[in-house]
Amino acid sequence: MIENLELILTRAQQALAGVEQEADLQAWRVRHLGRSSELSQVLDGLKELPREQRPAVGKRANEVKTALEAAHAARQAKLQATALEQALSRERVDVSLPGRRIPLGRMHPATQTLLEVYAIWREMGFQVYRSRDVETDAFNFELLNIPAYHPARDQWDTFYTTTPGVLLRTHTSPGQIRVMRERAPEPIRVILPGMCYRYEQISARSEIQFNQVEGLAVGENITFADLKGTLNAFARRMFGDQVQTRFRAAHFPFTEPSAELDIECFVCGGAGCGVCKSTGWLEILGSGMVHPTVLLNGGYDPQRFSGFAFGMGPERLTMLKHRIEDIRYFWANDLRFLEQF
C-alpha cells in the first residue's frame, strides 16, 4: 500500500510538471486531489486495512496529500506570475514614443487687427469706450443728425427688433452721443470698438455683422489740422512710416466737413492693381469734424467746443493686409482659414 502511495505521488508530480495552462491545472487538481482520485480512494479505504497497517499508511497518505497540495499551490503561483509577466510585456508603455501634440489656439485674425488698432490709439492717449449693441432709433440715427425722413437712412439697412424704436446698431457712432453725455463738458479722447449689424445680402464684400472702431476727440480749439495730423500718424503706425496718404472729400450726416482717408496701395505701390481696382489707392477710414448738431446733442456748446471723429472696419483692414478676398471667411469658423494667422 505504501508503494502504491509513492507511485501516486510520482505520477502526480510528473503530470504537474507538464501543466502550462490554468484550465489544465484545474483538471489536474480534480484528477489527483479530487473526491474520486486514487489518493482519496486510499484515504477512504484506510478503515478496511488491517489495524496495524493503518497508522503508517494513513500518515504517508496525508503526507502525500500535503505534498501534492503544496505542489499545486506552487504551480498555480508560477502560472500566475508567468501570465502577469506576459501581460506586462504585451501592454508595455513605450515611453520613447513622442507625445501627442495639443493644438494651440490663437487669436482670430479680426481680433489681432483690433488689438493692433487699440495699441496704436492707446499710445496716442485714446481710451477704449464700450457701448451697447442694442440701441434706440434716437441714438443710432436721430441724435446723429439723421432724422426719420433723411435719405441717408437708406445707407444703413437695419435690423429692427419687435419693440418699436429698438434696433441693432448699424454703426458704432451712437456711442459718440453716449460718451459725450457722460463726460460733457470734459474733453474726450476715445475709441469705440464693437460689432455692428446690417440687414444686407451676405456676399464676398458684405456681411450682416462686422466690427467697427470709431474714434472721437472733443475739446476746445480742435481743428481739421488735428484730424489730419492724428489720422496720418495712425496710418504711419499701422502701415509703416513710408505710407502715402490722401484725404478725399466725402459726406456723412454727423460730420461737417467729412473726408475719407486713402493710403497708397501697398500691393502695387500706387501703380494700380486688382486690389486697389487700378486706382493706386486703398480707402481705410471715414472721418470728419463733428457736426455742430451732434455736439449739441451730446451736451457740448458748438460755439466753444469742436471735435473730430473717424471710423474704420478691422475686417476690411485685415482683408487688405492679408489679401483676403471674401469677408465671409471671418465668421465661417473654417480652421483651414483661421490656422493661417
The binding site for Zn ion (CB under 5 A) comprises 265, 267-268, 273, 275-276
Q: For Zn ion, which is the closer residue by CB, 5 or 276? A: 276
**Between 243 and 275, CB nearer to Zn ion:** 275
Least separation, in Å, of the C-beta of 206 and Zn ion? Answer: 21
- Peptide bond preceding 185 in cis form (omega within 30 of 0): yes
Q: What is the DSSP letter of 291?
A: P
Q: Nearest approach, Cβ of 117 to Zn ion (angstroms)?
A: 22
What is the distance between the alpha carbons of residues 69 and 47, in angstroms, rounded to a whole number? 23
Cα gap 327→50, rounded to integer Å: 108
90 vs 323 by CB, closer to Zn ion: 323
Residue 185 or 272: the one with the smaller Cβ distance to Zn ion is 272
Q: How far is the CB of 273 from Zn ion (least distance, A)?
A: 3
| Distance, C-alpha 336 to centroid of its chain | 14
CB of 225 to Zn ion, least distance (A): 29
Q: Which residue is nearest to Zn ion (CB)?
A: 265
Q: What angle is formed at CA 339 by the lines to CA 329 and CA 335, rounded to 5 degrees? A: 55
Q: What are the backbone angles phi and psi of residue 65, rounded to the nearest 5°?
A: -60, -45
C-beta of 207 vs 264, nearer to Zn ion: 264
At residue 266, what is the residue type?
Answer: F
C-alpha 225/C-alpha 223 separation (Å) is 5
Q: How far is the CB of 320 from Zn ion (least distance, A)?
A: 10
Residue 127 DSSP code: E
**Under 8 Å between Cβ of 249 and 243:** no
- Return the amino acid letter for 120: I
CB of 264 to Zn ion, least distance (A): 8
SS3 assignment for 171-235: CCCHHHHHHHHHHCCCCEEEEEEEEEECCCCCCCCCCCEEEEEEEEEEECCCCHHHHHHHHHHHH
Nearer to Zn ion by Cβ, of 143 and 265: the residue is 265
- Taking the complex as a whole, how short is the minimal distance between the CB of residue 280 and Zn ion, in angstroms? 6
Indicate the residue among 74 and 271 with the shorter CB distance to Zn ion: 271
Helix axis angle, 224-239 to 109-123, nearest 10°: 130
Angstrom distance (rounded) from CA 76 to CA 135: 81
Of the two residues 15 and 275, which places its CB atom closer to Zn ion in the complex?
275
- Cβ 276 to Zn ion shortest distance, Å: 3
